Structure 1
Amino acid sequence: MSDRITGNKKLEKRVMKKKVTILIFIVSLFFSLNVEAQCAMCRAALGGKENNVQAQAVNDGIVYLMAIPYVLVVGIGYAVYRMRKNKKTD
Structure 2
Amino acid sequence: MPSKLDAQCAMCSLNAENSTQNGNSQGKGLNNGILFLLAFPFLLGGGIAILWYTKFRHKETKSPIL
Return the TM-score normalized by structure 1.
0.53
Please name the residue that 2:6 is paired with: 36
Q: CA deviation at 1:61?
A: 0.4
Higher helix share: 1
Q: Percent identity?
A: 32
Question: How many residue pairs are counted as aligned between the two chains?
Answer: 56
Task: Give the gaps of 5 or more residues in structure 1.
Answer: 1-32
Q: 1:36 to 1:51 in 2, by over 3 A?
A: farther
TM-score by length of 2: 0.69
User: Stretches of 4+ moved more than 6 A in 1?
Assistant: none
* Other-structure match for 2:22: 50
State the partner residue of 1:65: 37
Give the alignment's Cα RMSD to 1 decimal. 2.0
